[in-house]
Structure 1
Amino acid sequence: MSRPSVGAGTPVAEKPAPATSGGAPSGDGHGKSMNRRMRFVATILTFGGLLFGYDTGVVNGALPSMAEDFQMSQQYEGFITSALQFGAIFGAVFGGRLSDRYGRHRVMVTVAVLFTLGSLGSVLSPEWWVLALCRVVLGLAVGGASVTIPVYLAELAPSHLRGRVVSQNEFMVVFGQFLAFAFNAGITGVMDAEHANTWRWMLSVCLLPAILLWAGLTVVPESPRWLARWGRVDAMLKVLREIREQAYSKREGEEVERLAAQDEKASQGTLSELFSVRWMRRILYIGVGMAVINQISGINVVQYYGVSILTDAGFAGNAAFVVNLLIGLAGVVGVGIALGIIQRVRRKTMLTVGLVATILTLGLLASTAVFVADENPLKKWVILGSIVVFVGFMQCCIGTMTWLFMSEIYPLKVRGVAMGISTGVQWTMNFLVALLFPMLSAALGLGATIGIFVVLQVLALIWVRVKVPETKDKTLEEIEDAFKEPDAARA
């Protein structure tokens, strides 16, 4: 799935930013690679991204067994699938604020505990509604991880490595989804896909990384930026000496303290201020629009219900689980390509290419589902191919760009409030898609339901071309000034 990203006070992650842009501090004479300590810390924290991806992707293959075990209709499948997204709404909205108040480390320990308890409860659930409640708990963990981990990583990493470190988490999210598809395929190769307990084995796999995250956090330090903001300068200096690849410099510590003061100013932005100032409302409108675009592509229909779609298309038995791996692999490759070209290609160009590609691939999928006879042996392969290409373009051009846009456009003073709203909207849309797709598909058929997403993608393309500004190679201040200019011209 396309993943929610940064939270309150998060620096832009794609390039070393000047000090005034809210980036991580720059030290003296940085090397080109992470030291062993920083690499270990990043690995532990990105287990949270791996769990994010696994827990959102595992339901894809677990649904047939769950339906058999609990004798569920498609309506209840939607409830179980969307329960995680429902919890993530609240985890995302409150996670950033809690990490600002109590520290990144404490929130991540809580997230690890929720991942562990939610996973264990899910595996042992005796009834479908107990499973749904446990997935709400997992959703709280996923939502909290989605806003806390990128902030945590960005504040721990030196500026010249920030893009690579933060992007590692984004990669781990899609890799976690791929692992979910792989374990689903492996488990169904041993057990029947519709056996009553198969889903329990699928869900149990994520217990190990959850426990590793919990245990690993015992040696992960607090964010130096957060420590400086709360006046704990000695602790900040100790952390900087531990995680930076070269000797700590006094200048670097002073820069961290100055940027922490900027974060304190950022936290003073209010909801009323965001809505009362015309140019801020315009930014919020674009940011919320990006959050909506990130979901109306239908990407999470594929991530959550891919096995069911492929089974209905004609891939019998375990074949649906095996070919579903191609979908997970397409997401991993898509994000990998995005990380390689993001420095050179304009944001709006990538969004446009992605939307055109998703319109064409979803259009092909819908047309094939409606007009090609089930007896045609090519039908299932066309459906599979269109889904694989769709996921690759979506993750490469839309998923990465929408969250990058949102991390860039909000002014420092209201960034926490605005990102809370945008992230909440993103997870709300995610929840609605997960809940409603089984009902719509049962009532209208797969082709007509996918056709709705095609129409929404066309509207999204028009909106992007008309309303969305280009932000590549601009500082946060330049982006903010560009939004202010129309208001200044009216005055």
Structure 2
Amino acid sequence: MAGGGVAGHGASAGETKLPPLTPGPYRRRLGFVALVATFGGLLFGYDTSVINGAGGFMARPDQLDLSPLGLGVAASALVYAAVIGAFTGGRISDAWGRKRTIAVLAVMFIIGVAVVSIAPSLAVVVVGRVVLGLAVGAAAVVVPVFLAELAPYEIRGSLAGRNEMMIVTGQLVAIIMNAIIGNVWGDQYPWVWRIMFALAAIPAILLLLGVSRMPESPRWLADKGRDDEALEILESMRPPGRAKPELDDIIHTREIEKQRVSEDIGKIFHNKNLVRIILVGCGIGFFQQTTGINSILYYGSDVLEEAGFGTGGALIANIAPAAISVITALIALQMMDRVSRRKTFLVGYALVAFSHVLIGTADVVLPDGGAAKPYVLLILIVFFVGSMQLFLNIATWVTLSEIFPQKIRAFGMGLAVAVLWMTNGFLTLFFPTIIAAIGISGSFFAFAALNVIAFFFFLKNVPETKGHTLEELEEHVTDGSIFHSIGRK
């Protein structure tokens, strides 16, 4: 529906504009709901990055005595479980609702943290990390979809993007806490890795307490025919006069969609446009991981030690990439409602490929053992992480939450995020082996080549989504017209 207009009584899409998004108290309510929901993102970031620092203590002979492969198994158990969580979480949220699913995920986060924190062996750590991974993967799908479905389209980018902001905040908190705990108490108390993991219980409990005050997604309610409930929520989350026209738009699109797309997965693959958008989503997820961002966020301490820092120095230096993630993510949030998604992606992949070439070249040119090498590599890694977070991370999650029609939104995003997590899992399991085999330079030259490929993938295949309602995007994806604009925006 062009322009997001109310298309009722035979009106064509776009004949009527939604009332403007004026200031009002509803913005505070939206902000509160986004804060609570994105505790799931905070847990995502903390639970995936806490291994970056905690792993060294877990591997000690007087603790779990993990081999390099054992450490890789402990780290990747969460990631591989997240594949299942991502693929199933969306379908579960379609059946149960977004709010109830988030509440269940909060409980899973608490259970997973408890199991890992008291684990006497690698096997028990893996069990706890699997529970956490299921929750992380599902949260990666459900929270962005929930925020996108709740947000007015004019501020959807910045509101849905808050989840990625909380992810990188969680990563920073994990790395800072690891550095403090490891440097202050690590020598005396090698079991401090248990405290590092246990701290994740705090945001999990806050999420569980806060979810009771969250509304359900009005689009999910409307999709289930619960229009009165959807209208009540929209009225509390929109300026006066906006809720009813927006609900009419949602209902109109729902009625059209009933005639075109069945929820049966087999029917989806009979529509070449839906197949194409699913493949685009999977490509977005795959290339987000081949930037190598999580190899740094999970094994940054190891990379920095390889570059020449000592163990304690690497833990402290590791704060710099995590801090720049948060700073650039804040800037990216401001960009999301102002800048073309396509241009953001293209600039981002170009910068990331360039930064990888610089890192690989510096590792080759600068002599091992030299005083300058670790600091030059740290600066270049910070430049890489900043470029990634500024242009790619938030744009990835926002775009994935936007591009799929309502009937396949949870399935499509679940599949795309599952691909993302499978790629993440492969790199998480084998990155220590890869960097040991071909070094920093070989690893980052390989990442550079993959990011050049990503640039051309986005140039040729990814449509613009900024400035359109979800209903408008739904219609244009289903009829294929959204793909005609690729290259013109």
Which TM-score band (shorter chain)? 0.7 to 0.9
Alpha-carbon separation, structure 1, partners of 2:188 and 2:84 = 33
Residue 318 in 1 paired to residue 312 in 2? yes
Structure 1 residues 248, 194: CA separation in 2 closer, same or farther (over 3 Å shift)? farther
Alpha-carbon separation, structure 1, partners of 2:215 and 2:251 = 17
Alpha-carbon separation, structure 2, partners of 1:465 and 1:27 = 34
Task: Give matches, 1:173-184, under 5 Å.
Answer: 173-184=167-178
Structure 2: unaligned runs, 5 residues or longer: 8-12
* C-alpha contact 1:115 1:141 (8 A) present in aligned 2: yes
Out of 48, 65, 80, the position equivalent to 2:74 is 80
* C-alpha contact 2:26 2:236 (8 A) present in aligned 1: no
Counterpart AA for 2:200: C
Counterpart AA for 1:155: E
Partner of 2:33: 41
Out of 432, 455, 478, the position equivalent to 1:438 is 432
Counterpart AA for 1:482: S
Residue 51 in 1 paired to residue 43 in 2? yes
Alpha-carbon separation, structure 2, partners of 1:265 and 1:190 = 63
Choose 132-141 or 269-278, whichever is displaced more: 269-278
Counterpart AA for 2:211: L
Alpha-carbon separation, structure 1, partners of 2:453 and 2:153 = 38
Partner of 1:138: 132
* C-alpha contact 1:193 1:318 (8 A) present in aligned 2: no
Choose 407-416 or 108-117, whichever is displaced more: 407-416
Partner of 1:208: 202
Shift of 1:340: 2.4
Shift of 1:456: 1.5
Structure 1: unaligned runs, 5 residues or longer: 1-10, 487-491
Partner of 1:123: 117
Alpha-carbon separation, structure 2, partners of 1:471 and 1:216 = 31
* C-alpha contact 2:161 2:397 (8 A) present in aligned 1: no
Partner of 2:56: 64
Alpha-carbon separation, structure 2, partners of 1:307 and 1:389 = 17
1:38-69 C-alpha deviation (Å, 9 max, x unpaired): 43332221111111111112111211111112
Alpha-carbon separation, structure 2, partners of 1:27 and 1:193 = 62
Report the TM-score, using the length of structure 1 for normalisation.
Answer: 0.85
Counterpart AA for 1:325: I
Partner of 1:99: 93
* C-alpha contact 1:89 1:428 (8 A) present in aligned 2: yes
Structure 1 residues 146, 468: CA separation in 2 closer, same or farther (over 3 Å shift)? closer
Structure 1 residues 34, 164: CA separation in 2 closer, same or farther (over 3 Å shift)? farther
Shift of 1:317: 3.5
Alpha-carbon separation, structure 1, partners of 2:179 and 2:396 = 31
Residue 284 in 1 paired to residue 278 in 2? yes
* C-alpha contact 1:307 1:321 (8 A) present in aligned 2: yes
Shift of 1:321: 1.9
* C-alpha contact 2:157 2:337 (8 A) present in aligned 1: no
Alpha-carbon separation, structure 1, partners of 2:459 and 2:244 = 46
Alpha-carbon separation, structure 2, partners of 1:222 and 1:345 = 29
Alpha-carbon separation, structure 1, partners of 2:21 and 2:363 = 58
Partner of 2:371: 377
Partner of 1:464: 458
Partner of 2:300: 306
Local SS of the residue matching 1:171: helix
Local SS of the residue matching 1:318: helix
Out of 358, 368, 383, the position equivalent to 1:364 is 358
Shift of 1:306: 0.5
Structure 1 residues 467, 239: CA separation in 2 closer, same or farther (over 3 Å shift)? closer
Alpha-carbon separation, structure 2, partners of 1:324 and 1:449 = 19
Identity of aligned residues (%): 37
Choose 450-459 or 471-480, whichever is displaced more: 471-480
Counterpart AA for 2:481: A
Shift of 1:152: 2.2
Counterpart AA for 2:74: I
Partner of 2:141: 147
Structure 1 residues 103, 287: CA separation in 2 closer, same or farther (over 3 Å shift)? closer
Partner of 1:482: 481
Shift of 1:103: 1.3
Structure 1 residues 281, 151: CA separation in 2 closer, same or farther (over 3 Å shift)? closer
> Once superposed, what is the RMSD of the aligned Cα atoms?
3.2
Alpha-carbon separation, structure 1, partners of 2:259 and 2:116 = 41
Shift of 1:105: 1.7
Partner of 1:399: 393
Counterpart AA for 2:426: L
Structure 1 residues 227, 404: CA separation in 2 closer, same or farther (over 3 Å shift)? closer
* C-alpha contact 1:65 1:195 (8 A) present in aligned 2: no
Local SS of the residue matching 2:161: helix
Shift of 1:222: 2.5
Alpha-carbon separation, structure 2, partners of 1:388 and 1:275 = 42
Partner of 1:386: 380
Alpha-carbon separation, structure 2, partners of 1:396 and 1:184 = 25
Residue 424 in 1 paired to residue 395 in 2? no
Task: Give matches, 1:149-298, under 5 Å.
Answer: 149-192=143-186, 196-240=190-234, 242-244=236-238, 251=245, 254-255=248-249, 257-258=251-252, 268-298=262-292
